[in-house]
Amino acid sequence: MNSTQLKTTFRDIFEAQPEQAFFAPGRINLIGEHTDYNGGHVFPCAITYGTYAAARKRDDNLVRLYSVNFPDKEIIEFDLTQLEYDKQHHWANYPKGMIRYIKEAGYDIPQGFECVIEGNIPNGAGLSSSASIELLTGVLLDGLFNLGIDRLDMIKIGKRVENEFIGVNSGIMDQFAIGMGKKDAGILLDCQTLNFQYAPIKLEGYKILIMNTNKRRELADSKYNERRGECEQALSQLQQRLSIQALGQLTEAEFDENQNLITNETVRKRAKHAVYENVRTLKALEELKAGNLEAFGKLMNQSHISLRDDYEVTGVELDSLVEAAWKQPGVIGARMTGAGFGGCAIAIVENEQVESFIANVGAAYQNKIGYPADFYVASIGDGAKEIQLGEFE
């Protein structure tokens, strides 16, 4: 991605020079999957793939948006007084929702603007391109109009856009990781309280590889609701004896002592994953603080096994990628990331082995599944921010 191209595109589309530029990353979750709605912790980080924007203010009330990723949609245009969801406006509903809710929160957006957006997050990979556009719009409005929006408020507005404006019932992790990301650090986030701390991730000699199954996650929504229901059932049975509000409050020992309260074996396995995965996430923080990357990798592997066997959200595509990854030299750990049933897995791989890893895992996946996977080498980067017009990667 380079600023000259974006500036050139802006000039071509709007016949003017952009005034300011902004960036919001995508995210991966390193460990702590399906723990967020169980009162547990997640451990995401921002990545250096993301969404870029060049923008300038207008003298009227019009907002004019163009995406390099959706050129067939051409310029999408609306007035600052017309901020209702509009199916025809496709991707631009994400920025529109942000404008609407930021205005509703009492911030003054006195005039319109025009903006060119370009993202390099792989589509449908589960790296959260929608939250990236939301936070990109947040920092863009903040920067263009000097609004002084508190970052946590911006993150909550992004989640509200996702839940209420778009209608997707997701948690706060994506917006939080994208809004609060920090170079070379993971974020241990308590999804209930929003307390968080950064953990150093020193990957000297290693790379994070994102492996995209290229399978759309069509099962994820229905199974997601099913798993939530199973966890709620487990919680209500445990509450017969334990005064807890969420599965994430239990230690492994407390769960083991009381698991017989859960009458259904499948439901018991779901709850076990929620409890053990949350504990793994807390252990991950300690291991990384101590610089134990190998121990962190083992926790990643255990996480995938639990998601495969106890939570049953992986599927043959993710399992094929991860199990092939485990066999490669120089791999510290590998697991699925995201909701499951497609989407992506991640691996931590020695620099020298990256090329052979991609060749070997790619061949194993193609042989088993019949179509190719895509691989991306990622770095852990900063959260959403204004950048210099000459600062694109």
Is 245's pLDDT higher than 60?
Answer: yes
171: pLDDT confidence band, cut at 50, 70 and 90? confident
Question: What is the reported pLDDT for 229?
Answer: 94
**Taking the mean position of all CA atoms in its chain, how far away is CA 327?**
27
- pLDDT tens per residue across span 177-232: 999 999 999 999 998 899 999 999 988 899 999 999 998 766 567 788 899 999 99
Q: What is the DSSP letter of 112?
A: -
- Mean pLDDT score of the chain: 94
Residue 49 is encoded by which pair of tokens? 């793939």
Is 336's pLDDT higher than 90?
Answer: yes
Question: What is the reported pLDDT for 393?
Answer: 47
Least confident of 63-72, 118-127, 196-205: 118-127
Domains of the chain and CATH, by start? 3-200+381-387 (3.30.230.10), 206-378 (3.30.70.890)
- pLDDT tens per residue across span 279-327: 999 999 999 999 999 999 999 999 999 999 999 999 999 999 999 999 9
**Which carries the bigger pLDDT value, residue 388 or residue 363?**
363
pTM of the predicted model as reported, rounded to 2 decimal places? 0.91
CB 344 within 8 A of CB 33: no
Mean pLDDT over 148-168 rounds to 95
Q: What percent of the chain has pLDDT over 90?
A: 86
Q: Choosing from 36, 142, 174, 382, which is the catalytic residue?
A: 174
Comparing CA positions, the residue from 104, 9, 111, 109 lying closest to residue 54 is 9
CB 149 within 8 A of CB 138: yes
Mean pLDDT over 245-257 rounds to 97
CA dist 332 and 353 (Å) reads 11
| CA angle 358–359–365, rounded 5-degree value | 85
4: pLDDT confidence band, cut at 50, 70 and 90? confident
Cα dihedral 234, 240, 241, 243 in deg (nearest 10): 80
Comparing CA positions, the residue from 162, 217, 161 lying closest to residue 341 is 217
Comparing CA positions, the residue from 286, 275, 341, 285 lying closest to residue 308 is 341
Comparing CA positions, the residue from 168, 198, 171 lying closest to residue 186 is 198
Q: What are the angstrom distances between the C-alpha of 181 and each of 22, 55, 76, 381, 385? A: 15, 23, 30, 7, 10
Is 3's pLDDT higher than 90?
Answer: no
* Sheet strands side by side (includes 331-337): 331-337, 344-350, 206-212, 374-378
Question: What is the reported pLDDT for 170?
Answer: 80
1: pLDDT confidence band, cut at 50, 70 and 90? low
Please indicate whether residue 221 is annotated as part of the active site. no
